[in-house]
Amino acid sequence: MTKQVQQLDRVIIRFAGDSGDGMQLTGDRFTAGTAEFGNDLSTLPNFPAEIRAPAGTLPGVSSFQLHFADHDILTPGDAPNVLVAMNPAALKANLGDLPRGADIIANTDEFTKRNLQKVGYDGNPLEDDTLGEWRVHAVPLTSLTVRALEGFDLSKKDAERSKNMFALGLLSWLYHRPTEATISFLEQKFAKKPDIAKANIAAFQAGWNYGETTESFSVSYEVKPAKLPPGVYRNISGNQALAYGLIAASVQSKLPLFLGSYPITPASDILHELSKHKRFGIRTFQAEDEIAGVGAALGAAFGGALGVTTTSGPGVALKAETVGLAVTTELPLIVVDVQRAGPSTGMPTKTEQTDLLMAMFGRNGESPLPIVAPMSPSDCFDAAIEAARIAVKYRTPVMLLSDGYLANGSEPWKLPEISELPDISVAYTTEPNAEDGTFLPFKRDTETLARPWAIPGTAGLEHRIGGIEKADGTGNISYDPNNHDRMVRVRQAKIDGVDVPDLQVDDPDGEAKVLVLGWGSTYGPIAAAVRRIRKSGGKVAQAHLRHLNPLPANTGEILKSYDKVLLPEINLGQLALLLRARFLVDIISYNRVRGLPFKAEELAGVIQDVIDGD
Amino acid sequence: MTKQVQQLDRVIIRFAGDSGDGMQLTGDRFTAGTAEFGNDLSTLPNFPAEIRAPAGTLPGVSSFQLHFADHDILTPGDAPNVLVAMNPAALKANLGDLPRGADIIANTDEFTKRNLQKVGYDGNPLEDDTLGEWRVHAVPLTSLTVRALEGFDLSKKDAERSKNMFALGLLSWLYHRPTEATISFLEQKFAKKPDIAKANIAAFQAGWNYGETTESFSVSYEVKPAKLPPGVYRNISGNQALAYGLIAASVQSKLPLFLGSYPITPASDILHELSKHKRFGIRTFQAEDEIAGVGAALGAAFGGALGVTTTSGPGVALKAETVGLAVTTELPLIVVDVQRAGPSTGMPTKTEQTDLLMAMFGRNGESPLPIVAPMSPSDCFDAAIEAARIAVKYRTPVMLLSDGYLANGSEPWKLPEISELPDISVAYTTEPNAEDGTFLPFKRDTETLARPWAIPGTAGLEHRIGGIEKADGTGNISYDPNNHDRMVRVRQAKIDGVDVPDLQVDDPDGEAKVLVLGWGSTYGPIAAAVRRIRKSGGKVAQAHLRHLNPLPANTGEILKSYDKVLLPEINLGQLALLLRARFLVDIISYNRVRGLPFKAEELAGVIQDVIDGD
Amino acid sequence: MTELVNGKGLSLIPKSDVKQGMKDFKSDQEVRWCPGCGDYAILAAVQSFLPELGLKRENIVFVSGIGCSSRFPYYLNTYGFHSIHGRAPAIATGLAASRPDLSVWVITGDGDALSIGGNHLIHALRRNVNLNILLFNNRIYGLTKGQYSPTSEIGKITKSTPMGSLDKPFNPISLALGAEASFVARTIDSDRKHLQSVLREATAHRGTSLVEIYQNCNIFNDNAFEQLKDPEIRDDITLRVEHGQPIQSASKAVVRSADGGIEVVDRASVAEADILVHDAHRADPSLAFALSRLDEPAFEHVPIGIFRQIDRPAYDVLMAEQMEEAKAQQGPGELSDLLLGGDTWRIG
Amino acid sequence: MTELVNGKGLSLIPKSDVKQGMKDFKSDQEVRWCPGCGDYAILAAVQSFLPELGLKRENIVFVSGIGCSSRFPYYLNTYGFHSIHGRAPAIATGLAASRPDLSVWVITGDGDALSIGGNHLIHALRRNVNLNILLFNNRIYGLTKGQYSPTSEIGKITKSTPMGSLDKPFNPISLALGAEASFVARTIDSDRKHLQSVLREATAHRGTSLVEIYQNCNIFNDNAFEQLKDPEIRDDITLRVEHGQPIQSASKAVVRSADGGIEVVDRASVAEADILVHDAHRADPSLAFALSRLDEPAFEHVPIGIFRQIDRPAYDVLMAEQMEEAKAQQGPGELSDLLLGGDTWRIG
Ligand SMILES: Cc1ncc(C[n+]2csc(CCOP(=O)(O)OP(=O)(O)O)c2C)c(N)n1
Ligand SMILES: Cc1ncc(C[n+]2csc(CCOP(=O)(O)OP(=O)(O)O)c2C)c(N)n1
Ligand code: SF4
Ligand code: SF4
Ligand SMILES: [Mg+2]
Ligand SMILES: [Mg+2]
């Protein structure tokens, strides 16, 4: 029997199962196939809370959402069209996000009495009318997999493990995904265990054939490749892009990279990634704590390295004193804060934008530093290079504000031309800089106000720096009141003078009265919402701040040129506070602090309300 | 020969000498005599940089300034009328502050070639015309002292040590200070060494007689007692008043005081003071670092104590993570920040107001807490009680922002009536609070939004708290998005709802167009400046914020009711930023970050300029 | 209060007047560790041990840092504080120093206690704060999904050390002894009887008792302590360290070596009388320290038991004494006296 | 680079081609300690020792924390970093790990190193970072004007402990040995010859060398080490700990005690041959640890010298090795390879 093929412009799939079910891997593979096929895509993994919960329980549910389309898209999507539920917990945990009429593919084998009770289902939702409003496909994924693998000499347990590949095969059939990449991937992954490799491939193909042959799926879907700008692409997550950006910054600055870090969710993967690339002359140091991590990075920077420390909110708090030392000794340093839900331990695996004001003000004394924030997973690459550029050019710690959503989310990334990456190299100071032939460690570049960077090993420039106030020029300890006032202002002036590009506004016909402003990871949902408004004929302008400190020179002017400025933030209005104070503009804040990214639909509604003026 | 007596309404004296010369003691004693005599007064000690420098060098100079008058005064005075210079370094270091025509009493014995060279004097300023514009009294203090003590069997060195008492005697004569208190003080201080006591007393009297008998002083001065409100007074420094305030808070809250602290300038004296009063059931714990200090205080608070930690800027930065834990576990805690010049180590012995924004925002996540700032040394007593009141009533960490100027400066303090001190006691929770008879550690008081404070040892209320987000009510770990948003907002609402008194404006005839606003230790100089303006017929209103978070309800209304609002701060405009953001009022900032308090004259000039509108 | 000052063991902690069972110490929270995690065994061991102490449940507090192990307090129906990473000893110090009537436990991991929290740990030990510290040593960072820890062996391949770790690990027993600890022991998750026997002594010890518990993380560092569990060899490699007993395993024994140190020899090769008899009460920690070095290189033989157990005044008691003394000398605090203390004068 | 990998002692640090003198190491900054402070003697000892190393001055870096002692770097005409309280070992770790061509010194105090900085110190020791750590132990907080420190004796009356301190002090030597230190020594400010002999060994040691220096704070803790300076008794109470030499003072000697430990006895009462001969190179730190306990109770006899000195690869060398290996295996890093590394596809 030939099956009907339906064309779609976009699909949102969510794979959900137990932590042990390998949903993240399944999602990754489906993403790879989708990328290879040429769709635009965006993903959102959702890990269970810190600790692995017992199998089959709600806290143990792990999910992976993928949005792919025949046009360029901006978010992992608001609501799934298809939910793959590997067990009752997965169904229950995700049903709330599922719009009526969506497809549910449920692994009936796991809907046992015990598993149902574990999550508080009295009856079996697959049998009673609980799911009346959805299109349910009940598939005994586990047993089908086991049967498919009967030929192999595998324990039942091992065979069952492959059920996620069966599901992947089924979905690949359902959406016409290419299969080669997945097969070769499995061959590589289990190179050492060819039986396991074969079994997984068999399960994968069995899933495909199941879709092809059985009744339960009458329709399959096609999503044409997207017309993306030509180039070589790969799919990349924010943490990986950020790590690559740091490596690129090291190459482009000709400075050896030294990472001093202490593991913390959701930043750890940057440490993991960088530790794999020692051949770039990278040193990764897992310190005893965050303070030692940043301390070591600062020490390395004093020695001429590109010093980096990576962490999340609680770690930034701990590093504050040492970052203050970097501010006053005016050494280059990159502090990466992958923000997570706070306060305190908060919700480590959830995203938030609540560290902006800590980044600005979380140190004793007047202690200014530049702040850069990436706007998408792949943008973490460029943002890292930009942070490094500022750090080495101005000899200052720079705060790079990523977040949990960017860190783990992924999207296709058009690889940059290496030749087009900026040269951010600076020369160490090697000669005395004073008329009298002596060396003045705090004599500044008249344009950038940066002080010389003379590293140990340089003859004749021996000098001492420290955290006590320094005399302008000589850098000797000084308690002179006027010198202190001058130094406080010059440190501020140096940061205020950092060269940042103007803020770009997207206002197609220049008729918008409302500007939607954003920063960081909210770019995708905001842009998607703006599109919706415009599609429905509404007029709205959009601008997104990449530099939070200093702000682009034209920021105030732009804010004042619109009747209303709407600023959605995943905090209680932190950027709004800075902009209101600076420009006395009555910014309209929209704040939700749910540990999740905004949804495009949600924001579209908010924007419309502002346009309509209520 | 009888000497002329001249009446003065106010005098500013500065004692200056080597770290070893005992200038602080001399100043203290003169202050005591002056207080006893009934003048109003204000003092400003000025310690040398952290480390004791070699004798006779500029960095080694220690000084003590005292302002006393026959009327109430507000500051230690801008410029001294009299400088007592115990050596050339003391002269050189302080001459710049000395208005033309002021008196200089110099210890000629120390103006040796070697000492002069040490500080870069080619000639002897006492002999050449360097001091032409001042009234110099050259007195061989050292040799006179030694001669006066010939009778005693003392080494020359020991005899010389008493020269500061000789100087004190001379000044006491010059300004008609009572002598009994000083004599009995010396008897007590050296009770164990009666010879030393006698020697010092002899030196003191010799100094007095020297003034009485020699030519070199033709005039002596009288400053009549001030008409201060009736009551019992004592002279007190900010750190001592703050320590006493904490003890009073412990008594008035009926909670045992637990101080967890790590020494740091200029906060250490609070630890020292509290450690003397164990009989009040106070526990003082010198921790291994600041983090342990606040951690122990928080642990004690969980156990039902009034937990306090005292530190300065660098310590506050280190404590941030733990303070965030206090915010989210909603336990009472007092964090005292005696601000000093930053960033980083900065200038530890100098004052500054640069930690306000760190206090507000220096923690990861949305982590609000109340902030209280005393306005004068004696006000530290009341501010400490107010901080404790808020902490225990609302179960929240409270930041108490003192500074180096308040900490070491002193003024007469009218002792409060114990009976009139506020009762700030709260009851621990001892009963289940849920309908079903269970205990909900995060079920809030509907009015204050405070959660119950149930301490270990209370049967039936066993519960667990922690830094992970908590389910509203039960306090169980929760990763529910809406719960998190709700909790973030309720924590904010609790702090926003703290009951703080309205802001009082001093605007005598209500005709002022300009309001001068201030916070913390700038009260004295601002008020003194305002007086000057009004004396010269100008009209200006003054208001001083004691609560920085939340702000008094009427703050915005007051700011908007004046044409111009001037806000002098010893930072780059931190409170201004908060007020501008909140009320969109174009505050005029006046900022000097010199590590020193403002001068009344300086501010009067600024206010006048604002009034005149340039 | 003088009772307090002389407080030893559990004497200052109110006793329960009802008989308790294991279930009395289980909270209503679902336990959330990976299936097979060694933490389950430790939890069960503690829950079934606590009733034996007969203390009022409300006077027991578990304080933890952050880590898988640090979730422990949620599962006990006592007071609990799941604090922040590495700071539990500091927080518990404030609680224990100000509340002598509480039994305060610290639950921590090898990263929590020895990496970020190392300083608080060694200071608690030298101060001898009244704490029972259980250090769950799985030689890995569990919660953050598998980086090496300060107890991981050199060359450990982990997420953060793809080419192997470089740092020489701490020996927690040696470190504690170097930090003036008054009670130091080691036990293992799988041996409930031994674990509880150690807890018995640890709780009877007023002051800081540090108990290192070898704990299996079956997800990120499985079988780290397999040899000690393998019925084939465990009795041969486990050197029992018990006060007053010869230090030996089924087949090995500890004796003085020629050069004056100590060494492990074939038990058959020495006379019973020559086997070193353990004295945990020695004032000098040197011998205990020497014993702690016997598990170098890992697992040819591992000393398990109580290395050191000496009497030293606990911090809370010393603090209380000074308060007592101050009151005795100056009388209880009077606010008015305090304020009137300095030079005062009256106006009007 | 393989030279680096095999780097021992000072081999990786460029030598000066000019002859150096003490003055070459004096900076133009006026020294600002209290007259009579022991820091002056240590400064002079270091300044006059450095020329002997013959290193390029610009390849020497002094890193310090905060404290009187931590002002040290300002007075040396080398590179210097006066950092923040307690963090010098961490900052120096980053510098030393990334710059094997530098001689990195850490100057710290008993509060800086053992109170707030304790954790960084013990981790630097176990990692064996290539540092010379000079711990100025004056048993007090000098810079903050006299509070007790982690090395102050129990019962110490200070500004923060008017009734006496309660905390048992650390023995820095014991603590370091418990933290896997490869080089541990003690000397004293007043004995320049001995101080310099220790520095000679410490600088020759690639890895972390911890040198505790008893230092007199004549303002807040005067004469803390008086006995060791008093010509009357110092030779009797100072037990010289030197590799290969019998451990003894003028009148006392260290021998094995009956119970297998070690003890100090009247030298006359034992035969030369029975005096314990020091072996600083033992793999097992137990004996060194036992020696470190001999200064309990304070100053009846104090072991001075090099307790432990063993060869262990330094952290910077191990890091360099892994980089070498990575390059050897995968070739030097190429950005384009990196970016093209994953699954890629071409559009258009
Ligand atoms: C300040 C801070 N830094 C880092 C982390 C991340 N973190 C949580 S637990 C942990 C280490 C866990 O290892 P361990 O203490 O051995 O406990 P285990 O999970 O193995 O039981 C780390 C690094 C954190 N939560 N807070
Ligand atoms: C973060 C921080 N906490 C506290 C201080 C205050 N402080 C400066 S030095 C010091 C201790 C000094 O003692 P030690 O390390 O023994 O050095 P010494 O002055 O005795 O040489 C303290 C507590 C500080 N500067 N920074
Ligand atoms: S990760 Fe390891 S330590 Fe953590 S719960 Fe799982 S098995 Fe236990
Ligand atoms: S206070 Fe003590 S340690 Fe500091 S400089 Fe003076 S004498 Fe030396
Ligand atoms: Mg662990
Ligand atoms: Mg010291």
User: Which pLDDT tens digit goes with each residue over A314-364?
Assistant: 999 999 999 999 999 999 999 999 999 999 999 999 999 999 999 999 999
The predicted pLDDT at position B49 comes to: 65
| Residue ranges of B 313-342 with Cβ closer than 8 A to chain C | 321-322, 325, 329
Chain B interface includes C337 (CB < 8 A) = no
The predicted pLDDT at position A52 comes to: 66
* Cross-strand pairs, D35: none
Buried b (16+ CB within 10 A) or exposed e, A42-74: bbbbbbbbbbbbbbbbbbbbbbbbbbbbbeebb
φ and ψ at residue A497, rounded to 5 degrees: -90, 5
User: Which pLDDT tens digit goes with each residue over C63-91?
Assistant: 999 999 999 999 999 999 999 999 999 99
Contact call for residues A335 and A402 (beta carbons, < 8 A): no
CA B145 to chain centre: 35
Q: Do A292 and D319 touch (CB under 8 A)?
A: no
Report the residue from A313, A350, A571 with minimal CB separation from B479.
A350
Report the alpha-carbon distance of residue B368 to residue B396 in Å, rounded.
9
Contact call for residues C91 and C103 (beta carbons, < 8 A): no
Contact call for residues A398 and A330 (beta carbons, < 8 A): no
φ and ψ at residue A319, rounded to 5 degrees: -80, -10
Q: Do B456 and C58 touch (CB under 8 A)?
A: yes
B290-302 helix and C118-127 helix, angle to the nearest 10 degrees: 70
ipTM > 0.85 for the complex: yes
The predicted pLDDT at position B50 comes to: 56
CB D218 near ligand 4, within 6 Å: yes
Angle among Cα C89, C93, C98 to the nearest 5 degrees reads: 160
Q: Which amino acid, B74?
A: L
Residue recorded with tokens 């599962």: C75
The predicted pLDDT at position B51 comes to: 58
> Residue C1: which pLDDT band, with cuts at 50, 70 and 90?
very low
Question: Which residues have C-beta within 8 Å of that of residue B395, sequence separation ≥ 6?
Answer: B330, B331, B332, B450, B451, B453
Pairwise pLDDT comparison (D75 vs B155), residue with the higher score: D75
Instruction: Compute the distance from residue C72 Cα to the ligand 1 centre, in Å.
Output: 14
Q: Has residue C5 got a pLDDT over 50?
A: no
The predicted pLDDT at position C4 comes to: 43
SS3 state of residue A17: strand
Count of CB atoms situated within 10 Å of the CB of B510: 8
Residues of chain B neighbouring A570 (CB-CB closer than 8 A): none
The predicted pLDDT at position C297 comes to: 64
Q: Has residue C258 got a pLDDT over 90?
A: no
Residue recorded with tokens 């002094």: D62
Handedness of CA C311, C313, C314, C317 (dihedral sign): positive
Chain B interface includes C55 (CB < 8 A) = no
Q: Which amino acid, D214?
A: Y
Give the helix, strand, coil percentages of chain C, each rounded to 5: 35, 20, 45
Interface test with C, best of D126, D318, D324 (most C CBs within 10 A): D126
Chain A interface includes D327 (CB < 8 A) = yes
φ and ψ at residue A96, rounded to 5 degrees: -60, -30
To test the pocket of ligand 3, the residue of C31, C32, C39 to mutate (highest count of ligand atoms within 8 Å of its CB) is: C39
User: Which pLDDT tens digit goes with each residue over C206-217?
Assistant: 999 999 999 999
Q: Has residue C3 got a pLDDT over 60?
A: no
Which atom of ligand 2 is nearest the CA belonging to D136?
Answer: 21
Chain C interface includes A271 (CB < 8 A) = yes
For chain D, give the mean pLDDT. Answer: 94
Q: Has residue A398 got a pLDDT over 50?
A: yes
Chain A interface includes B357 (CB < 8 A) = yes
Residues of chain B neighbouring D112 (CB-CB closer than 8 A): none
User: Which pLDDT tens digit goes with each residue over A330-339?
Assistant: 999 999 999 9
The predicted pLDDT at position B217 comes to: 87
Q: Do A286 and C148 touch (CB under 8 A)?
A: yes
Q: State mean pLDDT over C274-283.
A: 95
Q: Which residue of C has its CA nearest to B249?
A: C335
In chain A, the N- to C-terminal Cα span, in Å, equals: 56
Pairwise pLDDT comparison (A37 vs C57), residue with the higher score: C57
> Nearest-CA neighbor of A127 among A140, A138, A135, A115?
A138
Report the alpha-carbon distance of residue B232 to residue B3 in Å, rounded.
34
Under 8 Å CB pairs connecting chains A and B tally to: 230
Q: State mean pLDDT over A465-471.
A: 97
H/E element holding A384? helix A379-394
Interface test with C, best of D119, D263, D307 (most C CBs within 10 A): D119
> Smallest CA–CA separation between B329 and chain D, in Å?
26
Q: Do C94 and B229 touch (CB under 8 A)?
A: no
Contact call for residues A498 and A386 (beta carbons, < 8 A): no
Per DSSP bridges, beta strands D262-266 and D252-256 are: antiparallel
D315-330 helix and D88-98 helix, angle to the nearest 10 degrees: 40
Residue A242 DSSP label: H
Lowest mean pLDDT among B484-488, C281-285, D6-10, D221-225: D6-10
The predicted pLDDT at position D343 comes to: 81
CB D37 near ligand 4, within 6 Å: yes
Chain D interface includes A99 (CB < 8 A) = no
SS3 state of residue B194: helix
The predicted pLDDT at position D296 comes to: 63
CB D39 near ligand 4, within 6 Å: yes
Report the alpha-carbon distance of residue C290 to residue D262 in Å, rounded.
13
For chain A, give the mean pLDDT. Answer: 94
* Cross-strand pairs, C61: C79, C104
In chain B, the N- to C-terminal Cα span, in Å, equals: 56
Ligand 2, CB cutoff 6 Å, lining residues: B 262-264, 290, 314-315, 318, 345; D 66-69, 85, 109-112, 136, 138, 140-144, 149
SS3 state of residue B480: coil
The predicted pLDDT at position D1 comes to: 35
φ and ψ at residue C230, rounded to 5 degrees: -70, 110
Count of CB atoms situated within 10 Å of the CB of A216: 13
> Smallest CA–CA separation between D160 and chain B, in Å?
5
Q: Do A288 and C115 touch (CB under 8 A)?
A: yes
Q: State mean pLDDT over D118-130.
A: 98
The tokens describing A404, both together, are 């949990």
- Provide, rounded to the nearest whole percent, the portion of chain C with pLDDT above 70: 97
* DSSP annotation string for D20-48: --GGGGB-SSPP-S-TT-HHHHHHHHHHH
- Provide, rounded to the nearest whole percent, the portion of chain A with pLDDT above 70: 99
Report the residue from D169, D178, D287 with minimal CB separation from C261.
D287
Report the alpha-carbon distance of residue A304 to residue A298 in Å, rounded.
10
Q: Do D147 and B286 touch (CB under 8 A)?
A: yes
CB A52 near ligand 3, within 6 Å: yes
Report the alpha-carbon distance of residue C315 to residue C335 in Å, rounded.
27
**Cis amide linkage into residue C297, ω under 30° from 0:** yes
User: Which pLDDT tens digit goes with each residue over A73-105?
Assistant: 999 999 999 999 999 999 999 999 999 999 999
Q: Do C145 and A268 touch (CB under 8 A)?
A: yes
Report the alpha-carbon distance of residue A286 to residue A275 in Å, rounded.
10
Chain B interface includes A345 (CB < 8 A) = yes
- Averages of pLDDT over each 10 residues, chain B, 614 residues: 84 92 90 89 81 79 93 91 95 93 94 92 90 92 93 88 94 91 88 90 93 86 91 95 98 98 97 98 98 98 98 98 98 98 96 98 98 98 98 98 96 95 97 96 97 98 98 94 97 98 96 97 97 96 98 98 98 98 98 96 97 86
pTM for the whole thing?
0.95
Residues of chain B neighbouring C346 (CB-CB closer than 8 A): 230-233
